[in-house]
Amino acid sequence: MRLREFVIEKLLFIAALSSLAVLALIAVFVFIEGTPIMLREGLGSFLLGAKWAPTKGSFGILPMIMGSIWVTVGALLIAGPVGVACAVFLVEIAPRQVADVVRPAIQLLAGIPSVVYGFIGIVVLVPFIRETFGGPGLSILSAAIILGVMVLPTVISIAQNALEAVPVEYKQGALALGCTHWQTILLVILPTARTGLITALVLGMGRAVGETMAVIMVVGNAVKLPINPLDPARTLTSNIALEMAYAAGAHREALFATGVVLFVFIMILNALANMRLRRRGSHR
Amino acid sequence: MELHDRREEKCKLRVENLSVFYGAVQAIKSLSLRVYPNEILGITGPSSGGKTSLLHTINRLNDRIPTYRHEGRVLLDGDDIYHPDVDVNQLRRRIGIVFDLPTPLPKTIFENVVFGLRVAGVRNRTVLQERTEQALRDAILWDEVKDRLNQPALRLSGGQQQRLSIARALAAQPEIVMLDEPCSGLDPISTLKIEQALWDLKERYTIVLVSQNVQQTSRATDRAAFLLMGELVECGPTAEMFTNPRDSRTADFLEGRFG
Amino acid sequence: MAHHRRSHLLLVMAIIAGLSIGVAGCRGPQSGGLTVAGSTSVQPLVEHLAERYMAEHHGEVVNVQGSGSTAGIRAAVSGAAAIGMASRELEPTERDLHRFLIAQDAIAVIVHPANPVKALRREQLRDIYARRIRDWQQLGGNPGTINFITREEGSGTRGAFQEIVMGDAEISADGIVQDSTGTVRAIVAGDRNAIGYISLGMVTPEVATISLDEVVPTHDAVISGQYPLTRPFLLVTSGEPGPRERAFMDYLHQPACQAIIEEEGYVPSAAESRS
């Protein structure tokens, strides 16, 4: 019995280790491929250069960094309020039968392939934005809306957990003092769940930064510093996915360098989320 | 059941033939009870006796539980609290409740005390401060926290948090204060402080004290009611009930044979 | 959820890693098989035909790998591949290679069917993509900013467009970039002010083609050589092809294969030689 447990334990440990090793290998690989060109071109001119013409020797990825930031922030401005409102509805307001139908429906959203989102974007959303607001339609706004919907399941499910973790005593205490249900939500439940809600947003953000396929289809991919949300833009992920198939030499290195920047981006977000979670853990 | 003949109009709260159900489970069986102004009514009995269900029904905290339903009436100053015209939030301001676990909100001490007032729309700073001091004094907490009102309430000890919960209920100036096992989990010194506070408060408030603890009920209440499995076994002046219980089940409970 | 995101990242990285391994793999010839490497535009067509070839010629193995026209030509020169594939004409320095035409591909310029502009000169098209002409009104159309759509950097279609239409002018960075013929077509089909370019074989009635230098892009115009925006699909070998290479290349000129090429929307080389 002793021996069996020992073996199982070690096997699990090896499994955990191997997944970690794969991650480490990928990281090392991307960094080895990507860092030389950053050093050669100079980190400043690589990160802050506005011109990207890789076949002609210009490797500035600032337009892509800005594109990623615009699109991600835009997606959060949409998914944040909608997601939190939806979570409040599910946890606090919806009757059980309604919640039981809506919850799995939202989780279903997470299972739709991103190509489908992109296609709906091109066929429905892009023409709508072009006709309503002008511009080419393929834009930051389109990408932000599509991404906002795509990250909703993430935001909602984590926000839900945060709201459900609010002790029932807080709610009763507020109700007993004459709070209406709405006041209880606004004054007690949301402030108490604050850290959890922020975590939901940060994790949603990580998902938004990494999404590729749907974004390529609706964001326009123009390599240009975006000025307003109706402009087309290119994100870090779409830059890699668009050009990797053909790239060779310095161009390919530059795309790996784009991957390095993305990697660091996501690491920072992850660290932020973990910090939040840990703080919340010690708080409760 | 009510044997003590006091005049009808002096009754503050009257429960008439109340039965409470959660789905198929009946938590309270045809219970009738009166609470008179400026008294401390103790409600005691073993757990699952219906004590908390009764308080929640009186404060209408069960309104949002889908399986809950009740029969009978609860009258506050003669008016049915479940009448469709009654504003439930207004009602809860008239009947304050303190729970068995301290429930400070994750805010400062000051904000916790004035929470009910702010919700009720009180804005005047002076009023808020006066009420805070009064409430904290009433709950015998003022001396311990007067210099750190802006610190998080969650840093207080358990006993302080429970007295803060009482102060918070008092600050809203209810007519009746109901306490549900306020001293469970507290040390003897904190327990005595709370009992002391209640004794001083009954001049201004009507108090209902739910406690499983027989000694506390005997020490801190004017009259006592004994609830067993949803049924009111007996109710009368505390001293009388403790020295000469009319029902053998009451005697068994008081002597510690169950619960 | 963190797990979900991490696996997503992993996937992207794995794809990147896989691609680079694929590229690296092109450099060494497969022992025993006939290695054909080069343009990713030509690759799907040759792959399709190679499968038929292998089914009909038992024991023969043909490996088709996509790495870009220039890489394919270099592979043929170095001997890393037996045959190179190119979707562009050979440059002067590459003239000593043996050139074998399998098909002509025309690039059609497309607009929304409701767009009144039906004809452009090559200079006008160049100025649209260089962002010197910005409004359809300047071309006699309805007022509206021109939304021009281009392909991604490195695409063979873009390369041919750059070479034949743009010359030394650069495609403006303001242009919408899409990475597939399908999305370019879907966008043009939905936007009255859009213009794009796709392979003639991929044109559907949702979009309208534009005549270039007064030549409508039709099958006949491509065969006769009048339509300017075409590119050859070439196979190249270093010197005269050996017997194995010759057998495969001749197979592609057989009527059955030429019919397939035509079905796929390209102009077969046999048709060209007939004209």
Point out the residue among A127, A203, A255 whose CB comes nearest to the CB of C2: A203
Point out the residue among A154, A216, A259 whose CB comes nearest to the CB of C16: A259
Mutate to test the interface with B, among A177, A183, A284 (most CBs of B within 10 A): A177
Residue spans of the domains in chain A: they are: 2-48, 63-283
Contacts of C151 in chain A (CB under 8 A): none
Do C and B count as touching (3 or more CB pairs closer than 8 A)? no
**pLDDT value at residue A1:** 66
| Touching chains, C (3+ CB pairs < 8 A) | A
**pLDDT value at residue C1:** 41
**pLDDT value at residue C9:** 53
User: Mean pLDDT across the stretch B165-184?
Assistant: 89
Quote the tokens at residue C65.
């790998």
Q: Assess A268–B contact: CB distance below 8 Å, yes or no.
A: no
**Rounded Cα gap, residues A213 and A114, in angstroms:** 6
**Rounded Cα gap, residues C259 and C261, in angstroms:** 5
- Cross-chain Cβ contact C153/A243 below 8 Å: yes
**pLDDT value at residue B65:** 84
Residue A99 φ/ψ, nearest 5 degrees: -60, -40
**pLDDT value at residue C189:** 92
Distance from CA of A165 to the nearest CA of C (A): 17
For chain B, the three-class secondary structure string (H helix, E strand, C coil) is: CCCCCCCHHHCCEEEEEEEEEECCEEEEEEEEEEECCCCEEEEECCCCCCHHHHHHHHCCCCCCCCCEEEEEEEEECCEECCCCCCCHHHHHHHEEEECCCCCCCCCEHHHHHHHHHHHHCCCCHHHHHHHHHHHHHHCCCHHHHCCCCCCEHHHCCHHHHHHHHHHHHHHCCCCEEEEECCCCCCCHHHHHHHHHHHHHHCCCCEEEEECCCHHHHHHHCCEEEEEECCEEEEEEEHHHHHHCCCCHHHHHHHCCCCC
Q: How many residues belong to chain B?
A: 259
**pLDDT value at residue C80:** 87
Q: What is the band of C108 on the pLDDT scale with cuts at 50, 70, 90? A: very high
B208 against A274, higher pLDDT = B208
**pLDDT value at residue C14:** 53
Q: Which CATH architecture has domain C106-230?
A: 3-Layer(aba) Sandwich (3.40)
The answer to whether residue C23 scores a pLDDT higher than 70 is no
Point out the residue among A96, A170, A180 whose CB comes nearest to the CB of B89: A180
pTM of the model: 0.75
Q: Assess A167–B contact: CB distance below 8 Å, yes or no.
A: yes
Q: Assess B65–A contact: CB distance below 8 Å, yes or no.
A: no
CATH node for A63-283: 1.10.3720.10
Distance from CA of C24 to the nearest CA of A (A): 10
Percent of chain B at pLDDT exceeding 90:
39
Q: What is the band of B259 on the pLDDT scale with cuts at 50, 70, 90? A: low
The answer to whether residue C20 scores a pLDDT higher than 90 is no
| Torsion sign, CA atoms C256, C257, C259, C264 | positive
- Cross-chain Cβ contact B105/A170 below 8 Å: yes
SS3 at position C58: coil
**Rounded Cα gap, residues A236 and B127, in angstroms:** 57
**pLDDT value at residue A203:** 86
Contact between residue A155 and residue A79 where contact means Cβ atoms under 8 Å apart: yes
**Rounded Cα gap, residues C230 and C106, in angstroms:** 4
The answer to whether residue C273 scores a pLDDT higher than 50 is no
C258 sits in which H/E element: helix C255-263
The answer to whether residue C18 scores a pLDDT higher than 70 is no
Residue C189 φ/ψ, nearest 5 degrees: -65, -25
C89 against C151, higher pLDDT = C151
Residue A249 φ/ψ, nearest 5 degrees: 60, -135
CB-side exposure of C164: number of CA atoms within 13 Å? 23
B245 against C219, higher pLDDT = B245
pLDDT tens sequence for chain A (284 residues): 678 888 999 999 999 999 999 989 999 999 999 999 999 888 888 999 888 888 778 899 999 999 999 999 999 999 999 999 999 999 988 888 898 999 899 888 888 999 899 999 998 999 999 989 988 889 999 999 999 999 999 999 999 999 999 888 888 888 888 888 888 898 889 988 988 898 899 888 888 888 888 999 999 998 888 888 999 999 999 999 888 766 778 888 999 999 999 989 888 888 887 776 666 544 43
- Cross-chain Cβ contact B66/A96 below 8 Å: yes
**pLDDT value at residue C31:** 46
Contact between residue A139 and residue A229 where contact means Cβ atoms under 8 Å apart: yes
**pLDDT value at residue B177:** 92
**Rounded Cα gap, residues C218 and C225, in angstroms:** 11
Tens of pLDDT, residues B32-42: 999 999 999 99
- Cross-chain Cβ contact A178/B92 below 8 Å: yes
The answer to whether residue C27 scores a pLDDT higher than 50 is no
Helices (H), chain A: 2-41, 43-48, 62-88, 96-111, 114-120, 126-133, 140-164, 168-176, 181-183, 190-192, 194-210, 213-219, 236-243, 250-283
**Rounded Cα gap, residues B80 and A45, in angstroms:** 77
Q: Assess A191–B contact: CB distance below 8 Å, yes or no.
A: yes
Contact between residue C232 and residue C104 where contact means Cβ atoms under 8 Å apart: yes
**pLDDT value at residue C124:** 94
Mutate to test the interface with A, among B115, B178, B181 (most CBs of A within 10 A): B115
Contacts of A240 in chain C (CB under 8 A): 12, 16
Q: How many residues belong to chain C?
A: 275
**pLDDT value at residue A243:** 83
Q: What is the band of C13 on the pLDDT scale with cuts at 50, 70, 90? A: low
Contacts of A64 in chain C (CB under 8 A): none
Distance from CA of B57 to the nearest CA of A (A): 12
Cα-based distances in Å from A192 to A166, A187, A196, A204: 7, 9, 9, 20
Q: Assess A230–C contact: CB distance below 8 Å, yes or no.
A: no
Residue spans of the domains in chain C: they are: 33-104+232-274, 106-230
Contacts of B120 in chain A (CB under 8 A): 178
What is the Cα B100 distance to its own chain's centre? Answer: 10
A with B: how many residue pairs have Cβ under 8 Å apart? 58
Cα-based distances in Å from B165 to B140, B152, B178, B213: 12, 14, 12, 20
Tens of pLDDT, residues C233-261: 999 999 888 888 999 999 998 888 888 88
Contacts of A252 in chain C (CB under 8 A): 20, 23
Nearest residue in B to A93, CA atom: B64
| Touching chains, A (3+ CB pairs < 8 A) | B, C
Q: How many CB atoms lie within 10 A of CB A110?
A: 16
Q: Assess A72–C contact: CB distance below 8 Å, yes or no.
A: no
**pLDDT value at residue B8:** 53
B103 against B200, higher pLDDT = B200
**pLDDT value at residue B7:** 52
Contacts of A282 in chain B (CB under 8 A): none
| Mean of per-residue pLDDT scores for chain A | 88
- Cross-chain Cβ contact A136/C9 below 8 Å: no
**pLDDT value at residue C211:** 93
C106-230 has the same fold as C33-104+232-274: yes
Pairing of strands C211-212, C119-120: parallel
Distance from CA of A4 to the nearest CA of C (A): 29
Distance from CA of A8 to the nearest CA of C (A): 23
- Cross-chain Cβ contact A123/C155 below 8 Å: no
Point out the residue among A95, A170, A180 whose CB comes nearest to the CB of B103: A170
Nearest residue in C to A23, CA atom: C10
Do B and A count as touching (3 or more CB pairs closer than 8 A)? yes
Q: Which of residues 206-225 of A touch C (CB under 8 A)?
A: 206-207, 210-212, 216-217, 220-224
**pLDDT value at residue C29:** 40
**Rounded Cα gap, residues B34 and B69, in angstroms:** 21
Tens of pLDDT, residues C153-202: 877 788 889 988 998 898 998 889 988 888 899 999 989 999 999 988 78
**pLDDT value at residue C24:** 44
The answer to whether residue C97 scores a pLDDT higher than 70 is yes
Contacts of C71 in chain A (CB under 8 A): 248
Contacts of B182 in chain A (CB under 8 A): none
Q: How many CB atoms lie within 10 A of CB B65?
A: 11
**pLDDT value at residue A209:** 87
Q: What is the ipTM of this complex?
A: 0.76
| CATH superfamily entry for domain C33-104+232-274 | Periplasmic binding protein-like II (3.40.190.10)
**Rounded Cα gap, residues C225 and C230, in angstroms:** 8
Contacts of C186 in chain A (CB under 8 A): 122-123
Quote the tokens at residue C33.
């098989």
Tens of pLDDT, residues C117-165: 999 999 999 999 999 999 999 999 999 999 999 998 877 788 889 988 9
**Rounded Cα gap, residues B49 and B127, in angstroms:** 41
**Rounded Cα gap, residues C85 and C65, in angstroms:** 9
Quote the tokens at residue A48.
């802050």
Contact between residue B97 and residue B60 where contact means Cβ atoms under 8 Å apart: no
C66 against B53, higher pLDDT = B53
**Rounded Cα gap, residues C36 and C26, in angstroms:** 9
Tens of pLDDT, residues C68-82: 787 788 888 888 899
Q: How many CB atoms lie within 10 A of CB A124?
A: 11
Contacts of A223 in chain C (CB under 8 A): 173, 177
Q: How many CB atoms lie within 10 A of CB B143?
A: 9
